[in-house]
Copies of this chain bind each other. A is one copy, B any other.
Amino acid sequence: MGKKKGPKYNQIIDAAVKVIANHGYHQAQVSKIAKEAGVADGTIYLYFENKEDILTSLFEEKLGSFVEYIRTQLTSDLSTEKKFLILIRKHLEQLQDDHHLAVVTQLELRQSNTDLRLKINEILKGYLVLVDELLTEGKENGFFQADLDNRLARQMIFGTVDEVVTNWVMKECKYDLVSLAEPVHNMLLGGLRSS
């Protein structure tokens, strides 16, 4: 039950990312992950409950540190606008820096069954809480519209950035993703209507 986080724990997770990115979700057999990690098939089960546990742990580890890192960048001296831009830029940056992870989170892991996806959503909450905090702060200091529906705003922000990343991955990461941070940021803030 209690995960033993020996050195092989991360070794296996990294192998899983690599295998899924290279071979696709449905071709990522436990034996293939074990081979990539340089351990025996059975060893996997000393560190993870089952295959699903590898995938949720993968998401937990990668997204956990992902959100943690963004938080360290949002120092309290920054304006809400600046924070909002950094949030988006770091989101794009981290995925651009790890194509493997991008493929896995945007395409492959979404092929998992509904149960796994529910757990992933649980993990995603950390990110959404961060967005929520930013929205509340901005509404209080007058940067965001005071009557925003937080839930809808969250869905617009996440939905937009996620769709932008997914399209980039589908186009095989052929263009620069990070340079879209500013236009996306502006579009989310200013909307589509001419002012």
Contacts and interface: CB of A to CB of B under 8 A. Distances in A.
Interface stretch (A55-63, A68-76, A142-150): A142-150
A187 B160 CA distance: 13
**Most chain B CB atoms below 10 A, which of A118, A164, A187:** A187
Interface string A98-112: 000000000110111
From A152, A170, A183, name the one whose CB has the most chain B CB atoms within 10 angstroms: A152
A169 B121 CA distance: 13
Contacts of A135: 192
Contacts of A162: 159, 163
In the complex, the count of this chain's copies comes to 4
Contact of A107 (B107, B117, B158, B188): B117
Given A155-B164, A164-B159, A167-B155, A143 B187 contact: no
Contact of A163 (B112, B159, B167): B159
A63 B24 CA distance: 26
22 contacts: A24-B114, A26-B113, A110-B110, A111-B112, A111-B114, A135-B192, A143-B194, A144-B193, A145-B195, A149-B183, A152-B180, A153-B192, A156-B187, A156-B188, A159-B161, A159-B162, A159-B164, A160-B160, A162-B163, A189-B193, A191-B191, A191-B192
